[in-house]
Structure 1
Amino acid sequence: MASPATTLQSALLLQKQLKELSKHPVEGFSAGLADNDNIYEWEIMIIGPPDTLYEGGFFKARMTFPKDYPLMPPKLKFISEMWHPNVYPDGEVCISILHPPGEDKYGYEDAGERWMPVHTVETILLSVISMLSTPNDESPANIEAAKDWREDYPAFKKKVQRIVRRSADML
C-alpha cells in the first residue's frame, strides 16, 4: 500500500500531467478526469490513427492509476468495443510499457521495454496509438483477433471496420 506521502506525490504529478495535456493537447487523443473528485481515474478518447484500419474511429478508454504512480503503471481499458491482438476481450490493453517494472518472469520482455517511472500519460497513449497501427501478434492478449490478423486478414479488417463505424455512431 502506498504511503500518504507517495499518494500525495502521485496526485500532484497526475495534476501536473493533466494540466500539461490541457495546455498542450497531443494529436490523436484527449484525456480528462472521469470524475473531478478522483485524480486517479481518467477518461480517454483515442482517435483512430490515419492510414490504419482504425482510422475514423473514436475509442473511449479508462485509465486507472495506482496510488504509487509513477513507480507502478496505470491500467488502460477500452470502454468502446475493440478488436485487436493486443487488447483482451474485456478491453484491457496489453503492451509492454504497462507491465510492472523489472524482469519478465516468462522471459518474453526485456526490463527496458516494461514500465519505467519516466513514462507519462502522453507516452502511454502514443504507445497505444502505435499499437493500433502495428499490432504485436507474437504475444497476443486476444487470441482470436491475432488468429484473424494472421490467418484471415479480410475478416479481421471487416470486424475492425464495423467497430470503427459503430464508434463514430456513438458520438
Structure 2
Amino acid sequence: MLHFNFKSGKNKFLWEIKEYYPKEYQYGLWALKMLDNQFHLEFPEDEAGFIATHIISGELGNDISDFKKSAEFIKSVTKIVRFYFNINLDYNSLSYNRFVVHLKFFWKSMMYTKGHSRLENLSQEILNVIKNSDVEAYKCALKIKRFIKEKYNYDLSNEEVMYLAIHINKITEDERNKK
C-alpha cells in the first residue's frame, strides 16, 4: 500500500467544504476510496476536499477562486447571524442546511445578476407580515443587507431580505426550542 504525504497539501477550506457542500465532499471521499481499492493508493482526507472543490467549481461554472469566495460569503453571513443572536448554530440541523442552500443559490444569483435582483415583487402585505412576525430576524437580515452592499456592492431587494429573514427565523427558532 502506498501512502502519499503532501507538505503543502493542507486544505484550508476543508471545514467549509464539509459543512457547506457535504454532497460534493462525499463524492471526494468516494473517489479516494476507489483509488485505494483499485490502485492501493491512500491519500489524506484533505484530498477529498480538493476533489470536492473541483466538483463545486464545475457546478458554479467558474474557477476555484469563485468557490473560495462563495465559502467566505456563507461563512460571513452565518457569522453575522451567530453574533447577532449570540447563539451557536446546529450545523447538522435541517433548518441550518436549508439556510446554507439558500445562501449558495443566493451567491450564484448575486454573482450573475451583477447587482440587480431577479426576484419578483411580493405584495407589500406579505412583506409586512414577514417583517412583523419576527422583528429581530428582520433586523438581522437588514444587517446582512448592509454587509453585502459594503462588501459586494449588491443591493438586496425587499424580497431577498424577507427570504433571509424567513431562514434566520427558522434557524433561531430551532436554537431557542433546544433550550
| TM-score clears 0.5 | no
Normalised to the residue count of structure 1, the TM-score between the two structures is 0.29
Kindly indicate which of the two structures has a greater share of residues assigned to helix. Answer: 2
